[in-house]
Copies of this chain bind each other. A is one copy, B any other.
Amino acid sequence: MADIDSPYPDSLGKLVEVFARLPGVGKRSAERMAFYFLKCGKEEAMDFAFAIRDLRKNLRSCTICFNLAEGEICAICSNPARDDSQLCVVEMPRDVIAIEKTGSYRGLYHVILGRISPIEGIEPDDLKIKELFIRIENGDFEEIIIATNPTAEGDATASYLADKIHPLNIKVSRLARGISAGTEIEFAGLANLQSAFLGRSKI
């Protein structure tokens, strides 16, 4: 603390440093957050540390749909109340969370873990697309809803998937463009996502 460059005691400085790595957190906010742990009870601090540890320890990819799962199979795939005639294809687990928040959809999901991007060298084989078609062939889906992001790459991925699903004689739809172009599904907002789900169109 004698050093002008580091006014913090070591343990506090370390915590400020790790908090400042979080998205959207500057040095000043990181300091406020670190101070919080000096004031809060020991139990609460441990609660926090354990929550981070447990996330890494407990969360894995669902072996069916590649959504986040606490065990082998995620809470959605293992829920018998979900409608197994509908399958919604999304890029990432965070898109599942955003759609679940709307309460507009009660079917199943398939997370392809990315989008086709020739520029970044991401080919269909790098995504969980092979697994998607194994599911479609073995399942009894009446509708595949493609909910990739409304970006150039998301659109290209949707077209690629639609072209491969059409010959299978299953209805394919995309979310209505109630979502404004360029917006990520994750940040689209409840109302936009809800109308997008209701206005989805066959493609």
Q: Which residues of A contact B (CB under 8 A)?
A: 1-2, 4, 7-12, 14-15, 17-18, 21-25, 29, 31-38, 42, 44-59, 67-70, 74-76, 79, 81-82, 93-94, 96-98, 100-101, 103
With a cutoff of 8 Å between Cβ atoms, the chain B residues found around residue A10 in the complex are 58, 70
CB atoms of A53 and B59 under 8 A apart: no
Q: DSSP majority for the A interface?
A: helix
With a cutoff of 8 Å between Cβ atoms, the chain B residues found around residue A103 in the complex are 4
Q: Which of B17, B46, B55, B75 contacts A15 (CB 8 A)?
A: B55
Docked CA distance A50–B74 (Å): 29
Known: A18-B47, A23-B36. Contact between A74 and B29, CB under 8 A?
no
CB atoms of A38 and B55 under 8 A apart: yes
Known: A9-B74, A49-B50. Contact between A79 and B4, CB under 8 A?
no
With a cutoff of 8 Å between Cβ atoms, the chain B residues found around residue A100 in the complex are 1, 4, 7
Known: A12-B59, A69-B9, A75-B1. Contact between A53 and B46, CB under 8 A?
yes
Query: How far apart are A203's CB and chain B's nearest CB, in angstroms?
Result: 26
Query: How far apart are A77's CB and chain B's nearest CB, in angstroms?
Result: 10
CB atoms of A52 and B9 under 8 A apart: no
CB atoms of B55 and A37 under 8 A apart: yes
CB atoms of B55 and A11 under 8 A apart: yes
Q: Which of B4, B34, B42, B49 contacts A49 (CB 8 A)?
A: B49
Closest B residue to A71 using CB positions:
B9
Q: Which of B23, B35, B70 contacts A33 (CB 8 A)?
A: B23
Closest B residue to A45 using CB positions:
B56
Query: How far apart are A67's CB and chain B's nearest CB, in angstroms?
Result: 8
Known: A1-B100, A8-B97, A100-B1. Contact between A18 and B53, CB under 8 A?
no
Known: A68-B12, A101-B7. Contact between A29 and B35, CB under 8 A?
no
